[in-house]
A = this chain, B = another copy of it.
Amino acid sequence: MTDIADLEARLRRLEDIEEITRLVASYGPAVDAGLAEEVSGLWTEDGVYDVDELFMGDRAAIHAMVDSDAHQGLIGNGCTHFLGPVRVDVDGDEAIAVCHSILVAYHKERYVVARSGANRWELRRTSDGWRAVHRTTRALDGDAKARALLGPA
């Protein structure tokens, strides 16, 4: 016999997945729109964003990256941070989300794939909802450590 508490738990699970899926889907549009507050707000205050060439150790560092001349120049030329579908594993108040990403840059009147990456997001349920606590992004250029990010939670 299905009772209300059981239904509520199943619904809560889907809500968690939806919220995390949305968080990941929000990154690309926000970073390409240059919205530093919106991008950095996807992380906790001390959340880490660790990309190949760039380590950002807290929300302020992520905010500064979006506002930087380098990033503003990138979006001023035209760029697309295109993320793939996400595989989410929720375990209580923590979760792992894994996805691909490609960066398409507009360069000399052509669109080029400038990078392809593996992404592993560690997330936590906070009083404000799910937030990223650690995102690691590595180029899929043959490096075994990049591939390992795509493995099971």
Contacts and interface: CB of A to CB of B under 8 A. Distances in A.
Interface in A68-91: 75-88
Nearest to A35: B151
Contacts of A24: 85
A8 B8 CA distance: 10
Nearest to A120: B29
Nearest to A73: B142
A150 interface: yes
A118 B22 CA distance: 17
B10 A80 contact: no
A55 interface: no
The SS class assigned to the A binding surface is: mixed
A104 B116 contact: yes
A65 interface: no
Interface string A113-128: 1111010000000000
Q: How large is the interface on A (under 10, 10 to 19, 20 to 34, 35 or more residues)?
A: 35 or more
Given A77-B142, A106-B139, 10 more contacts: A7-B7, A10-B15, A25-B86, A32-B118, A33-B147, A34-B147, A82-B102, A104-B113, A106-B141, A113-B113
B11 A147 contact: no
Contacts of A76: 142
A45 interface: no
A106 B7 contact: no
Interface in A29-64: 29-30, 32-35, 38
